Amino acid sequence: MEIGNCEFVAQLIYECPGLVWERNRKGWTIIHAAVWHRHETIFSLIYEVGIVKNVIATFKDKEDGSTLLHLAARSAPVSQLNRLAGAGHCFA
């Protein structure tokens, strides 16, 4: 998914919704990869699934215990993080 085709991934999820539950060696799901690689289209599609988002949000990286929120913050450009309320002093 790093440089992949978002439309293809969206079609896979549509055809095989169970893919959102599959995890890689790090414990990441397809939504973790979408967040890490900043694919907002894929993230939005999976977010619409509903209850799934609440469960997947609790999955942690097996290596360092990171959650989706950690991944989003790590992969975001500093300029984007600085726009968050209260985050400017942390990332400037």
Instruction: Give the separation between CA 21 and CA 75, rounded to whole angstroms.
Output: 22
Mean pLDDT of 63-81: 70
pLDDT for res 2: 52
Biggest distance spanned by C-alpha atoms of the chain = 44
Specify the CATH architecture of the domain 6-91: Alpha Horseshoe (1.25)
What are the extents of the domains in the chain? 6-91
Mean pLDDT of 75-89: 53
Choice between 92 and 20, residue whose per-residue pLDDT is larger = 20
pTM over cut 0.75: no
* DSSP for residue 82: H
Mean pLDDT of 36-59: 69
* DSSP for residue 20: G
